[in-house]
C-alpha cells in the first residue's frame, strides 16, 4: 500500500481537517517547501519555494525579503503584469478582485478559498504534496455563484514567481521525426511564451515542460533548478515574464486563444494540474523527481517492467497478412522477444486499408489479408509463446470510409466551410465532445478485447491536427468550448477504457511523439518517442524527452540499416545500445538480419532482460550531452539502493584528433566497491572486465574508456561487491 503523505507531519500549523489558523501555509515534500501567506481579506502570496524549511524559519523568509508576489493574479485591478485569470461577469464587468475567505488542509491537499469582493464568484487554489517524489501539483476550481452566465477568458492552472539574477530556461520543441529538441538560453527581460495550437497533437512542436536554472547555465547534476510541467492534453500556454533582471513569473494553463468558456449559474470549472519540483542536484535532480512521480503517481502501471516487442510497421508497412506476420513472429521469438504488434493495414472491408487514403473508422478485419481475422493472428502468437498487440487510430476517420458515409456529422467541421483534410488527402478528426462519438471510440477497444480476450497490447495512434474548427454537437454559443470539451470527452473515454481494462497495455502514439504530455500518462503505459528510428538522431530526441519522462515509458526500437528515415548506415550494436536506454523493441523484419547479426541480437535481447529492471525502474543520470557538440554522449542508470548500475557511452561523430573524453559516473555509493563487466565491447577488448573500483573513484576520477570509431559504443554493468 502506498504511503499517505500528510502535511501535518511537517507543519504544526496544519491539522487533519479544518481551517489553517495562522497566516503562513507550508506545502512540504520530503526535500522541498512552498510557503504562502493566507491572510483573510487579502490575496494569497508566494514567499518561498526551495529546499525544505521548518515553520520556525518563516521569519527568516520575511526578513530576507525574498519574494512577495500574488499566487493567482486576476485581471482588472493593478494588472500591469501578466495575469492568471480573466473573467467577464454577468453584468459585463471584466475586472476581478479576489480575496481569501479561508483555507484548509485535507490529507495531502492544501486548499485556499477566494471570492470576488463584489460578486458571487469563487476560486479555490489547490496544492497537492507528493511524499515520494518532491513534486507539488497545483490547480484551480472556478465556480460561478452569480445569477447569470459568466465567461472565462483566461484560466491558468498555476503560478510560480521567483527572484534570481542570471536565470536560464531549458525548453523543448521540434517537429515530426525530430521531437523534443532541447534549447537552453538565459531569461532576459520581456515575455517568453511556449504555446501549442495543434488542438490534438499538443507535443509535436513546443512541449508543455520547462526547467528554470537559478545558477546560470544549466548543469546536469549540480545547481538549483525548478521544473514545471502542465498536465493537459489540449492546447496550452506557458508564459514566463521577466521584469528587469531578477523577477521571473511562470503562468501555465490552457491556452486562452479561441477557448473562452461559459459557466452557467452553479457550474464550476477545474483546470488541469501544473506539476512543480525543485532540486539542488541540477536538471538531473528535477528529472529524477518527475520520473519517481511518474512511477508512483501518474503513469499507468508505473512499477511494472515493459515487454520487448516487435512492431510490424517498418518491416512491412501496410502489407500485412497472416503469412508475413507469422514470419515476423518466428523472428522475434528466436531473438528472445516477448510481444508481437501488428501495425496499420489490418482492417477495412468496403474501403480496404491498403494505403493511408481510406479505411480509418472501419475497424473490421480485411479478410483478403487476414482470412481468419485477428483471432488467428493472436493464436499464432500464443502458439509461439508470444503476447499479441494491435494498432488503432480511434479518434480519426477517412472521408473514404463507411463510418464517414454513415455519420458525416461526427467529424470536426463547420457546415459553411469546405473540409480541410489531412494524411492521405482524406483524414479527418472525430468530434470527441460528442457523447455518441465517445461511445463509439470506447466500443472500438471494447469490441477488440471482447473478440480477442487475450489481447495484451494496443498501439493508439493519432496523425492529424484539429484543422476544421467546428462542432455539430456543440451549440452555436458554445463553439469556443470545442478544444476543451474535445479533450474532456477524450479523457472521459480513456477513463472508461481503463476502468474496464486496467491490465491492457496501451501505447500512446501521435505521428511519433506528438502527444508526450503528463495529461495523457494516467491512461497509457508508454509512448512512442518518435517515428524517427535513426540511432544517431534518437540520441538527441531521447535525451530531450528524458528530462521529464521516465525511461520505462519511452518506446525505443532497433530498426533496419540503412535507416528508413535518414538512410544512415549504423552498426547493429550501436542501434541496440541506443535503444536499450528505454523500453527496448524492434521495428524491422528479423529475417533481414544475417546470421552474425542474428546471433548478436539474441545476446543483446538476453542482456537487456538482465538489466531491464535497472533501466526501467532505476534512477537516470545524464552525464555527457550530445548537445555539447563534441560527438560523444553518455548516461547511466542506478538502482535505488545503489547496488547495481549500467553505464552507456557513445561516439556518433568522428574526426582526426577527436579524443575520447574521460567518463565520469554519477549516482553511485562513494564508499562502495563495484565490479565492472562489459557487454560486447565495440573496441574488440574487454579491458574493464572484472575490474573493481570505488564509487568515489568512478565519480571523481572516472574511466578512460576509449571509443575509436564513429558509431562505437560501450555498455558497462556495475555491481556492488
Active site residues: 461, 531
Which grid cell sits at 239? 508564459
581 in Cβ contact with 538 (< 8 Å): no
Beta bridge partners of 221: none
What angle in degrees, to the nearest 10, is found between the helix axes of 535-545 and 572-579? Answer: 10
Please enumerate in sequence order all residues whose Cβ is within 8 A of that of 345, keeping only pairs 6 or more positions apart, or say none.
Answer: 316, 317, 318, 319, 320, 353, 354, 366, 369
Q: Minimal CA–CA distance to 276: which of 162, 181, 197, 184?
A: 162
Rg, C-alpha atoms of the chain: 26
Cα angle, residue 56 at apex, residues 51 and 60 outer, rounded to 5°:
70
Q: Minimal CA–CA distance to 362: which of 322, 396, 412, 388?
A: 396
Element (H, E) at 379: helix 373-383
SS3 content of the chain, % helix, strand, coil (to 5): 25, 30, 45
Alpha helices in 233-311 (DSSP H): 282-293
Phi first, then psi: give them for residue 674, nearest 5 degrees. -120, 140
Which grid cell sits at 287? 528529472
Q: Minimal CA–CA distance to 215: which of 50, 415, 100?
A: 50
Q: Minimal CA–CA distance to 307: which of 122, 140, 131, 503?
A: 503
Strands 32-37 and 24-28: antiparallel
Q: Minimal CA–CA distance to 298: which of 269, 277, 273?
A: 273
218 in Cβ contact with 211 (< 8 Å): yes
Distance CA(187)–CA(166), nearest Å, equals: 7
Which grid cell sits at 107? 490529507
C-alpha to C-alpha distances, 107 to 51, 53, 261, nearest whole angstrom:
22, 20, 31
C-alpha to C-alpha distances, 125 to 290, 313, 332, 507, nearest whole angstrom:
22, 46, 51, 33
Strand segments, DSSP code E, in 489-573 are 505-508, 526-528, 554-559
Distance CA(284)–CA(226), nearest Å, equals: 11
Distance CA(531)–CA(98), nearest Å, equals: 47
Please enumerate in sequence order all residues whose Cβ is within 8 A of that of 308, keeping only pairs 6 or more positions apart, or say none.
Answer: 336, 337, 338, 339, 584, 585, 586, 605, 608, 609
Cβ burial, residue 596 (10 Å; 0-12/13-18/19+)? exposed
Amino acid at each position: 500500500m502506498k504511503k499517505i503523505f500528510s502535511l501535518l507531519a511537517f507543519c504544526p500549523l496544519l491539522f487533519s481537517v479544518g481551517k489553517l489558523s495562522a497566516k503562513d501555509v507550508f506545502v512540504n515534500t520530503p526535500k522541498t517547501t512552498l510557503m504562502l501567506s493566507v491572510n483573510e481579506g487579502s490575496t494569497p502570496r508566494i514567499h518561498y519555494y526551495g529546499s525544505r524549511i521548518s515553520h520556525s524559519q518563516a521569519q527568516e523568509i520575511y526578513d530576507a525579503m525574498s519574494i512577495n508576489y500574488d499566487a493567482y493574479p486576476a485581471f482588472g485591478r493593478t494588472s500591469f503584469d501578466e495575469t492568471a485569470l480573466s473573467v467577464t461577469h454577468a453584468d459585463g464587468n471584466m475586472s476581478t478582485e479576489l480575496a481569501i475567505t479561508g483555507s484548509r488542509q485535507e490529507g495531502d491537499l492544501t486548499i485556499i478559498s477566494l471570492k470576488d469582493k463584489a460578486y458571487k464568484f469563487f476560486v479555490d487554489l489547490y496544492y497537492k504534496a507528493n511524499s515520494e517524489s518532491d513534486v507539488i501539483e497545483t490547480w484551480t476550481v472556478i465556480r460561478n455563484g452569480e445569477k447569470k452566465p459568466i465567461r472565462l477568458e483566461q484560466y491558468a492552472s498555476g503560478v510560480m514567481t521567483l527572484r534570481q539574477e542570471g536565470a536560464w530556461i531549458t525548453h523543448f520543441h521540434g517537429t515530426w521525426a525530430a521531437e523534443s529538441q532541447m534549447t537552453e538560453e538565459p531569461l532576459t527581460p520581456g515575455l517568453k511564451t511556449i504555446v501549442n495550437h495543434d488542438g490534438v497533437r499538443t507535443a509535436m512542436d513546443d512541449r508543455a515542460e520547462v526547467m528554470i536554472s537559478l545558477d546560470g547555465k544549466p548543469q546536469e547534476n549540480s545547481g538549483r533548478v525548478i521544473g514545471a510541467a502542465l498536465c493537459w492534453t489540449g492546447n496550452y500556454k506557458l508564459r514566463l515574464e521577466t521584469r528587469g533582471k531578477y523577477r521571473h513569473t511562470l503562468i501555465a494553463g490552457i491556452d486562452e486563444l479561441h477557448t473562452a468558456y461559459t459557466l452557467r449559474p452553479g457550474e464550476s470549472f477545474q483546470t488541469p494540474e501544473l506539476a512543480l519540483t525543485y532540486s539542488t542536484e541540477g536538471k538531473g535532480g528535477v528529472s529524477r523527481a518527475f520520473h519517481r512521480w511518474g512511477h508512483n503517481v501518474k503513469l499507468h502501471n508505473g512499477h511494472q517492467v515493459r515487454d520487448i516487442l516487435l512492431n510490424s510497421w517498418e518491416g512491412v508497412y501496410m502489407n500485412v497478412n497472416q503469412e508475413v506476420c507469422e514470419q515476423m513472429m518466428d523472428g522475434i521469438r528466436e531473438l528472445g522477444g516477448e510481444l508481437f504488434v501488428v501495425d496499420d493495414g489490418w482492417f477495412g472491408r468496403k474501403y480496404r486499408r491498403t494505403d493511408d487514403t481510406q479505411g480509418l473508422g472501419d475497424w473490421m478485419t480485411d479478410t483478403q489479408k487476414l482470412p481468419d481475422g485477428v483471432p488467428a493472428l493472436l493464436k499464432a502468437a500464443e502458439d509461439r509463446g508470444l503476447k499479441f498487440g494491435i494498432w488503432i487510430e480511434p479518434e480519426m476517420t477517412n472521408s473514404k470510409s463507411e463510418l464517414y458515409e454513415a455519420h458525416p456529422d461526427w467529424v470536426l467541421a463547420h457546415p459553411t466551410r469546405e473540409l480541410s483534410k489531412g494524411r492521405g488527402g482524406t483524414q479527418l478528426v472525430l468530434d470527441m465532445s460528442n457523447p455518441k462519438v465517445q461511445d463509439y471510440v470506447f466500443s472500438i477497444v471494447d469490441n477488440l478485447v471482447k473478440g480477442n480476450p487475450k489481447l495484451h497490447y494496443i498501439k493508439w495512434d493519432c496523425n492529424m491536427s484539429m484543422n476544421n474548427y467546428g462542432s455539430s454537437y456543440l451549440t452555436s454559443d458554445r463553439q469556443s468550448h470545442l478544444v476543451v470539451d474535445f479533450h474532456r470527452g477524450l479523457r472521459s473515454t480513456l477513463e472508461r477504457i481503463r476502468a474496464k481494462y486496467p491490465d491492457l497495455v496501451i501505447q500512446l502514439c501521435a505521428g511519433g511523439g506528438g502527444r508526450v504530455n503528463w495529461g495523457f500518462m494516467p491512461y497509457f503505459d508508454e509512448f512512442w518517442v518518435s517515428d524517427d528510428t535513426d540511432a544517431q538522431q534518437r540520441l538527441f530526441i531521447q535525451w530531450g524527452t528524458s528530462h521529464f519522462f521516465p525511461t520505462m515509458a519511452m518506446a525505443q526500437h532497433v530498426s533496419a540499416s540503412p535507416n528508413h528515415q535518414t538512410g544512415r548506415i549504423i552498426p547493429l550494436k550501436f542501434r541496440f545500445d541506443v535503444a536499450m536506454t528505454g523500453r527496448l523493441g524492434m521495428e524491422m523484419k528479423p529475417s533481414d538480419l544475417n546470421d552474425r547479426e542474428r546471433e548478436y541480437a539474441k545476446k543483446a535481447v538476453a542482456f537487456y532482460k538482465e538489466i531491464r529492471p535497472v533501466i526501467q525502474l532505476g534512477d537516470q543520470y545524464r552525464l555527457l550531452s550530445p548537445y555539447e557538440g563534441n560527438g560523444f554522449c553518455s548516461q547511466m542508470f542506478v538502482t535505488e539502493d545503489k547496488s547495481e548500475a549500467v553505464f552507456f557511452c557513445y561516439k556518433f561523430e568522428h574526426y582526426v584528433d577527436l579524443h575520447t573524453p574521460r567518463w565520469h559516473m554519477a549516482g553511485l555509493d562513494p564508499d562502495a566497491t563495484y565490479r565492472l563487466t562489459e557487454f560486447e565491447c565495440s573496441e574488440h577488448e574487454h579491458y574493464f572486465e572484472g575490474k573493481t573500483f570505488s564509487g568515489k573513484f568512478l565519480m571523481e576520477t572516472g574511466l578512460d574508456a576509449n571509443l575509436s570509431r564513429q558509431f562505437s559504443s560501450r555498455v558497462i554493468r556495475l555491481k556492488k561487491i
